Amino acid sequence: MFPTKAFYHPNEMITIKIAGKFDVKIWNLADEIATLTGVDCLEWTPPTTPKHGYLVQILTSDGEFWTAFDVLNHWTDAPRYGYLFDFSPTRTITNLDWMLEHHINGIQFYDWMYRHDRLLPPTDEFIDPLGREMSLDVVRKLIQLAHQCGMSAMPYTAIYAASPEFASQHMDWGLYDDQNQIYDFAEGFLKLMNTDSGWRQHFIEECLSVLEYLPFDGIHVDQYGEPQTGRSVDDTQINLANSIANTLIDLYETLPDNKNLVFNLVHNWPLSAVAQTPVDFLYCEIWAPKTMLYDLAEITQENWIASAGKTPIVAVYINPQYDYTVRMVECVILASGGYHILHGENGLYLSDPYFPKAGQVSLELSRYLKQVADFGVAYEELLTFAHPIDMNVETSEEVWTIVRKTDGKLVLNLLNVSPDEEWTQNINPVNIKKDVKVQMFLEDRIKRVWYVTPDIPASPQQLVTQLDDKMLKFNVPTLITWGLVCIELMI
């Protein structure tokens, strides 16, 4: 049971299909704001304030169920990015329920195109560069289906990639290495073009032709992370970071109104240049040597700050059999104000940079990821829209604490893992911690303190506190993976 749309606009009624009679409770943070009963379908209009998330408890004769929804002005206010990669004429999956259940509100259409240098195919059915049978009619239908679900559809492109044939016909557009050879990608599968050459206008025109022909909602632009410099055909050194940024600016200025632009910062490069462009949010693909959980938190927060509080999308690819690693990566990124792209094609977990290699997770992990997806939406005001801050927090157990602040609330994210663990490895689960003592110096007056966790679906639990000479003390009852303490201040 989940909402029929990925998010809702102010004044829009939410709808959840529920078989039979039901009782429903709805919370915004720690406040229960609605108690409803009905049959077969819940319809309710939430408060009109945008950038608010809601937790939903559903009781039926079949048991207890939980979901969440949020109210936003636009999907890019709190982007939750998913992906599709099956555009074959024989595609059998004809709904996006899997992504709706996980509240995905933007979809990257991965490798949907005819060629990297010629995006639209000559006919509706075609063969892609890797020999896959593709159908533009299927692409159209999936875009329409996404729109019905309140999701935006973003077509994959690559900012400088061209086929060897195209490159050989435009040698003056190539990006050259120190040996005066055009850069290869994937052992010659693609060639790299100079974004300071005539390629830039060609690329922009290709993107515009896509938006004229298909109802996509913008452009997703990729790069490959290497090289980070290059030369033109006349041996002029190119500032590739600035060249990429200028290409994005030129592309954005030509886009129709209300179309979005996203760019992939591979290795978080070139962050400073791209953060100054009009991309709608930052998308960052992280690789070695940034392999510690601490690196994920640091880079996510760095992107959040660089984009003035826009939710960054983080791409890291993890073996789906690494259960606790997957759990902790989700928790760390959300606690740091970002969103991990992982849910896409029905039931698959994004575990490889070539998206069609997405893998399966265990049933137990799948259930947990659903709980985390609900948690991230229900408490987005304390995660997505909260500022990272430094604050000393003492705990009786070894706990990693990430602190954020928003609208008179302090948010303590308690993570049951060491920040030095590597997300590229199979992290061993840590023992459950009970009655974790927490204390911190706090000059503000306190309204209330409450606790919630994605590990156990439940409404927030108010904590008993003690304040001695501006030292706030309380106990966290149970910490399995991730717990969130909200300290509401008197203002």
Kindly report, residue by residue over 216-226, the tens digit of the pLDDT. 999 999 999 99
Taking residues 221-236, what's their average pLDDT?
95
Q: How far is CA 208 from the centre of its chain?
A: 25
Angle formed at CA 112 by CA 110 and CA 116, multiple of 5 degrees? 95
Instruction: Check residue 467 and give its pLDDT.
Output: 87
Q: Give the model confidence (pLDDT) of 353-383 as tens digits.
A: 999 999 999 999 999 999 999 999 999 999 9
Residue 393's pLDDT band (boundaries 50, 70, 90)? very high
Tokens of 18: 């529920």
Instruction: Check residue 408 and give its pLDDT.
Output: 93
Q: Is the pLDDT of residue 57 over 80?
A: yes
**Which parts of 62-132 are beta strand (E)?**
63-71, 81-84, 106-109, 125-127
β-pair partners for 3 = 16
Taking the C-alpha atoms of residue 236 and residue 232, their distance in angstroms, rounded to an integer, is 5
Q: Give the model confidence (pLDDT) of 312-361 as tens digits.
A: 999 999 999 999 999 999 999 999 999 999 999 988 999 999 999 999 99
β-pair partners for 174 = 193
What 3-state class would DSSP assign to 433?
strand
Taking residues 380-387, what's their average pLDDT?
96
Taking residues 274-284, what's their average pLDDT?
97
Taking the C-alpha atoms of residue 346 and residue 387, their distance in angstroms, rounded to an integer, is 34
Taking the C-alpha atoms of residue 312 and residue 307, their distance in angstroms, rounded to an integer, is 8
Q: Give the model confidence (pLDDT) of 121-146 as tens digits.
A: 999 999 999 999 999 999 999 999 99
Taking residues 226-242, what's their average pLDDT?
96
Instruction: Determine which helix (DSSP H) or strand (DSSP E) holds 363, and give its type and residue range.
Output: helix 363-378
Residue 491's pLDDT band (boundaries 50, 70, 90)? confident
Residue 468's pLDDT band (boundaries 50, 70, 90)? confident
Mean pLDDT of the chain: 96
Q: List the 52-60 sheet strands across, edge first.
A: 31-44, 14-28, 52-60, 63-71
Residue 154's pLDDT band (boundaries 50, 70, 90)? very high
DSSP state of 460: -
**How many angstroms separate the Cα of 292 from the Cα of each of 209, 325, 425, 427?**
41, 11, 10, 11
Q: How far is CA 98 from the centre of its chain?
A: 16
Instruction: Determine which helix (DSSP H) or strand (DSSP E) holds 302, and give its type and residue range.
Output: helix 293-306
Instruction: Check residue 188 and give its pLDDT.
Output: 85
Angle formed at CA 316 by CA 455 and CA 246, multiple of 5 degrees? 130
Helices 323-335 and 363-378: angle between axes, nearest 10 degrees = 10
Residue 127 near residue 191, CB atoms below 8 Å: no
Total residues found in the chain within this entry? 491
Among the listed residues 459, 342, 469, 463, the one whose alpha carbon sits nearest the alpha carbon of residue 412: 463
Residue 330 near residue 318, CB atoms below 8 Å: no
Query: For 179, how many CA atoms within 13 A lie in the half-sphere containing its CB?
Result: 4
Among the listed residues 348, 398, 378, the one whose alpha carbon sits nearest the alpha carbon of residue 454: 378
Location of structure tokens 């590990």: 455
Q: Is the pLDDT of residue 94 over 90?
A: no
Q: Is the pLDDT of residue 436 over 90?
A: yes
In the chain, DSSP finds a helix count (H) and a strand count (E) of 9, 29
Instruction: Check residue 223 and give its pLDDT.
Output: 97
Taking residues 33-49, what's their average pLDDT?
95
Instruction: Check residue 443 and give its pLDDT.
Output: 87
**Please, what are the domains in the chain?**
14-71 (2.60.40.10), 75-382 (3.20.20.80), 387-489 (2.60.40.1180)
Location of structure tokens 């937790």: 55
User: H-type helices in 111-188, by residue range?
Assistant: 136-148, 164-169
Taking residues 230-250, what's their average pLDDT?
97
Instruction: Check residue 258 and give its pLDDT.
Output: 92
Among the listed residues 355, 368, 359, 411, the one whose alpha carbon sits nearest the alpha carbon of residue 81: 355
Instruction: Determine which helix (DSSP H) or strand (DSSP E) holds 329, and give its type and residue range.
Output: helix 323-335
* Residue burial 153-164, b: 16+ Cβ < 10 Å; e: rest: bbbbbbbbbbbe
What's the distance, Cα to Cα, between the start and end of the chain in Å?
38
Taking residues 150-168, what's their average pLDDT?
97
